[in-house]
A and B are shown apart, each in its own frame.
Chain A
Amino acid sequence: MTTETGIGASVRRKEDKRFIIGKGRYLDDITKPGQTYGYFVRSPHAHAKINNFDATEALNAPGVVAVLTGPDLEADGIGPIICGWGITSKDGTPHKAPAHPALAIGHVRYVGHQVALVVGETLQEAKNAAELVEIDYEELPHVVEVGDALAEGAPQIHADVPGNLSFDWELGDKAAAEQAISNAHHVTRMDLRNNRVIPNAMEPRAALSEYDMGTDEITLYTTSQNPHVHRLVLSAFNGVAPEHKLRVIAPDVGGGFGSKIFIYSEETVCAWATKKLNRPIKWTAERSEAFLSDAHGRDHETHAEMAFDSYGKILGLKVSTKANVGCYLSTFASAVPTYLYGTLLNGQYTMPAIYVEVQAGFTNTAPVDAYRGAGRPEATYVVERMIEIGAREMGIDPGEIRKRNFIAPDAYPYETPVIMTYDSGNYALAMDKAQEAIEYQGFEARKAESAQRGKLRGIGYSSFIEACGIAPSAAVGSLGAGVGLWESAQVRFNPTGSVTVFTGSHSHGQGHETTFAQIISDQLGVPIDQVEISHGDTGKVPFGMGTYGSRSLAVGGSAIVKAVDKIVEKSKKIAAHTLEASVEDIEHAHGVFSVAGTDKKMTMAEIAFSAYVPHNYPADVEPGMDETAFYDPLNFTFPAGTHIAEVEIDPETGTTEILDWVAVDDFGNVINPMIVEGQVHGGLAQGIGQALLENCVYDKESGQLLTGSYMDYCMPRADDLPTFRVQTINTPCTTNPLGVKGCGEAGAIAAPAALMNAITNALGKEIDMPATPEKVWRAAQDL
């Protein structure tokens, strides 16, 4: 039964009312009595030694409460910022993660590096005093690009990391891949650059910390995608407070895209300093601080070789990547270019042999970590550019070569050579639908029409796959994760029949308050306006792992289903007692419990009331209707699909116009099609942004961030984007109870390859991202 508010309905987002009327409660909207303001003194240099630090004058400035430094943190036993995923190098040694104090001690290693916290009665006073802090820096040689950092003779960033190499990791069968390449009919060889991007969530990172001397409890409000992970790390590793004395609240959060997963210096310092000063402290990043110090994304230099037989069947793939991890290893930085990247290099294809090696290098730049897609866009970019170029070199149609290589719909579960087991998919169906939607047969005529107007038209494919719903604890644990990746849910009926669901997932734009409520409404027949979704407060919700990797519905939603199952099981006992039937005879559908073969029934609301007012109640059942479940998935989910982009280039100026974009995605079952479409649109905007507009540039000479504001860092605007034509196909995931796969990252994963394939198809030659007008013009003019 599909209802207007059940599974499959495009219910309007419940949360939007408060956002639209300006009643959203973001971090900077929260104020505490006696609040002070924190301002961070940051390094103006890419690499320098701190010879002297003098805050005397700053401390005497009006309104200054404190100036706190790295040595102060160290003296209080506050541990360094950690990386939570251990990677083992080829030689069996663990990755090198140099100590990362939350405030610099002795050295600064990138422009924007946090050196001191100035706390003032007002923000203005804190900023005024920050200018009076005198720091004697001795500049040291720096390096900003990973290729340079890993080269012989590069400046050394950390004394204990020779050659700036954090790890040299591999996956797959090297000998088999090399054998495939040496025996191949054709080998495509390419150097590919996956450009560095800056996440740019609309709400900048922020923290507000408060200490209660009476209870000895610290409350930290922070812009987090995973408040319990923040609490765990701040407690267990940084030693800010014991877990039961630390409450982390992530209120309305305005976008994350990965950048708010991580435990950063700023909130760590604020959480510690509030107790030290016994004053609430608020810090809100300015946009320029966000550019400088949010964890950036991507930044790979890759050489790839793909081997084909004469029919265009892929025989093997060998990939060598240098990944820039910035100056320190951020929370999940080590997992992104390894297990979230190498494991997806199989794409949608049968590839008998794959080998990937990744060298992760430190540079004098901001840390690099997960950004929408995290590793999977990089993998898709390699696979989908290589197969497209291979098709061109071999004279095979790019759609046809993919069809020749697709894993067949009856081949599941399908084990890849890079340790993934795909549960389900129908890749040819998505391709067929995409080709039909874009009218692929008519492309040559459209290209000829463009040529008559002096324009270059191109078409490009991306048949992407991703692993999301991150994911089974045992699996990620065996690969080095320091945490489990299950999710929690608590479904609490109130006596009058309304429901509060507490979820360990965290919504920072995804629409959980609607999608999760639809699950409850559908399965328990509760009107959707009587379902409240509560998240983001460690003081309210059970321990949960948060939202990233398109996991909220597949993992968090499944936890809700498990809790609902417990509610149903208990309700059946109550209904059986009340209706004087046996439990086995009670049938349940959408919140109505009936005795099989009779017209005797009870509604969920009646049962909930009975559970709280148990006057006539089964002896062996506890009162109350409040069930908690934890769900650990059996596998990742594997959303996949085909996107086709069609572009037109003006060769005189190098401008690329995206004329059409078709996306056919297999997300398994869909709860709310409207929200899914919105997620795809957002992902596409970011993926297109990366391929066409966005580029993080550090100046090699000075180490300064040249793209430190919207004057130079080009965020996509609405008029940069075409009207997207989005469809889904629905091959249910076989490993979770909802059959859902996850949709949050698909657009960002698929888009760059589709767009670059279209642009290079139009140009007839290869260029790297981003396809800026000048780069395209040079290619079009043969310069």
Chain B
Amino acid sequence: MENNNPNNIPNEEAVIARRRALAAALQRSEPVIVTPTGSVEIEGEADENGLSGIEVPAGKLA
């Protein structure tokens, strides 16, 4: 799981694009899941991609 390719630009762009989508989803309070590697995924997209994980319980930041 080590991030051993930090200068890989396309990968970095993909990460940024993914974060943008996630930020928008979080702003809309859409449900997200966390996969076994700890990756945070938008629930609807995770279903489409066949990913499973634990649904983050409802609640507010302390």
B is bound to A: no
Chain B residues in contact with chain A, CB under 8 A?
A: none
Chain A residues in contact with chain B, CB under 8 A?
A: none
